[in-house]
A and B are shown apart, each in its own frame.
Chain A
Amino acid sequence: FRGGAELLFDGVKKHQVTLPCQPEPWDIRNLLKWIKQNMLKERPELFIQGESVRPGILVLINEADWELMGELDYKLQDQDNVLFISTLHGG
């Protein structure tokens, strides 16, 4: 998490997570739900809006724009790196 987004996660920028096995595929959509339930300490509306991230938050998968990868539908693979960068100015 960067650009200020880390402030929502105890200021910790890098998180190594192991997602539990489940029948539903792990895509970004489900990852976001998981983050909301398990990682967001406060004010989820600053990070998540509806199913997706709040406008102004960029999502990169393995250092590439998620728009190239199918956005919410992208299926996560082992060792994937997901980066959220906030471009918002405070609040």
Chain B
Amino acid sequence: PHSSPRTCMKCGQGTAALVIRVGDPFCRSCFREYFVHKFRAMLGKNRVIFPGEKVLLAVSGGPASSAMVRQVQEGLSREAAKRLRFIPGLVYVEEGAVRRQSPEQRQQTLAQMETLLQATGFPYHVIHLEEALELPQSILQPGPERASTASPSYKEAVDSFIQQQRQDRDSGTSVPGHSPQDRPAGPPATPCLPDAARSRELLRGFEAAATATAREELLEMLRTHLIVQTARDKGYAKVMTGESLTRVAVKLLTNLSLGRGAFLAVDTGFTDQRHGDVMVVRPMRDYTAKEIAFYNLFFGVPTVTVPPLFTKPREKPSIHQLVEDFLLGLQEEFPS
């Protein structure tokens, strides 16, 4: 391996801090611009988030979803050029019961996440994976799609939003956001865990999965269902998740191996409309894990690391893990 030139290739001035793709050294500030621009371009090009609409951000504490929240924060701020104009809420699914965490460790994770979520100032919802035991049967069916007459085109939505803003300004009312009960009220209550019996029941469900692969799939499915149900309950028609390019690529190959080829488009695309009334959007899918890790480090994005999903002793690795290793190995040997 040879050293790449140490000057930023974009501005030609700054000291390069990292290499993007093959041989593209970027300095910190050009990297920041590149990172931010990619996010805005993703949303702008796809035009699925309407101004003024409520969007639920699914947060795991991991690097990608945390970077996503930061992008939303910066994008909404007053100083942003072409600032974003939607109304975010956050949802966090606590999964300690299946990640071999003791009640104390779960409390600690929850406390760290509460701090992180509170600091954004956005309304947030913390739910436990155990709540999946209570999901209604209806979750398995796509929700009713909005009647097409009621659903505006992007341009119409922007126009009506601008009109609404003018009206509000004239009449002196502030833009209606969330209903009062969504706002985090004062200092957070001590996070409480579901009672032990439910945690055991959940764990039994997971232990019944015969393979590590099945277990991973189960976790993803339950988590997604919980998030979609929360979106429905709280009136969000859009959900943003933080799957990065690396994660999406792993998902794609894994799903192929699992016989889910028919669902490739919805499972890995920018938008996912299989739930009908709730659309899932993946704005981070063009970012590599490396770009996200560097961004978080350079710009102080807080994250909370949790242990991985439990495995049984002497169990073979899941297809997900094998695929991840395979793809990352390929990336090393054949950088493109």
- A residues within 8 Å of B by Cβ? 2-4, 6-7, 54-56, 58, 60, 63-65, 67-73, 83, 85, 87-91
B297 touches A (CB below 8 Å): yes
Q: Given that A56-B324, A68-B16, A91-B317 are contacting pairs, would A63 and B297 also be in contact in the complex, using a CB cutoff of 8 Å?
A: yes
**A90 & B325 in contact (Cβ 8 Å cutoff):** no
B305 touches A (CB below 8 Å): yes
Residue of A nearest to B246 (CB): A87
Q: How far is the CA of A59 from the CA of B221 in the complex (A)?
A: 33
- A11 nearest CB across to chain B (Å): 10
- B residues within 8 Å of A by Cβ? 1-4, 6, 15-19, 25, 63, 246-247, 250, 289-290, 292-294, 297-298, 305, 307-309, 311, 317-318, 320-321, 324-325, 328-329, 331-332
**A71 & B1 in contact (Cβ 8 Å cutoff):** yes
Specify which of B2, B318, B328 is in contact with A55 (CB 8 Å cutoff). Answer: B328
**A91 & B311 in contact (Cβ 8 Å cutoff):** yes
Specify which of B6, B309, B324 is in contact with A68 (CB 8 Å cutoff). Answer: B6
Q: How far is the CA of A90 from the CA of B25 in the complex (A)?
A: 29
Q: How far is the CA of A85 from the CA of B298 in the complex (A)?
A: 13
Ordered by A's residue number, 8 sampled pairs between the chains whose C-beta atoms are within 8 Å are: A56-B325, A64-B17, A65-B19, A67-B4, A68-B25, A87-B246, A90-B309, A90-B321
**B331 & A55 in contact (Cβ 8 Å cutoff):** yes
Q: Given that A63-B297, A88-B324, A89-B247 are contacting pairs, would A55 and B317 also be in contact in the complex, using a CB cutoff of 8 Å?
A: no
**B293 & A85 in contact (Cβ 8 Å cutoff):** yes
Specify which of B290, B294, B324 is in contact with A89 (CB 8 Å cutoff). Answer: B324
Q: Given that A56-B324, A69-B3 are contacting pairs, would A91 and B308 also be in contact in the complex, using a CB cutoff of 8 Å?
A: yes
**B1 & A70 in contact (Cβ 8 Å cutoff):** yes
- A69 nearest CB across to chain B (Å): 6
Q: Given that A55-B331, A56-B328, A71-B1 are contacting pairs, would A65 and B309 also be in contact in the complex, using a CB cutoff of 8 Å?
A: no
**B4 & A68 in contact (Cβ 8 Å cutoff):** yes
Q: How far is the CA of A6 from the CA of B306 in the complex (A)?
A: 11
Q: How far is the CA of A65 from the CA of B157 in the complex (A)?
A: 43
**A67 & B1 in contact (Cβ 8 Å cutoff):** yes
Q: How far is the CA of A85 from the CA of B262 in the complex (A)?
A: 35
**A68 & B18 in contact (Cβ 8 Å cutoff):** yes
Specify which of A60, A64, A91 is in contact with B16 (CB 8 Å cutoff). Answer: A64
Residue of B nearest to A13 (CB): B305
Q: How far is the CA of A68 from the CA of B17 in the complex (A)?
A: 8
Q: How far is the CA of A60 from the CA of B295 in the complex (A)?
A: 13
**A70 & B2 in contact (Cβ 8 Å cutoff):** yes
Q: How far is the CA of A65 from the CA of B24 in the complex (A)?
A: 12
**A68 & B63 in contact (Cβ 8 Å cutoff):** no
- B141 nearest CB across to chain A (Å): 30
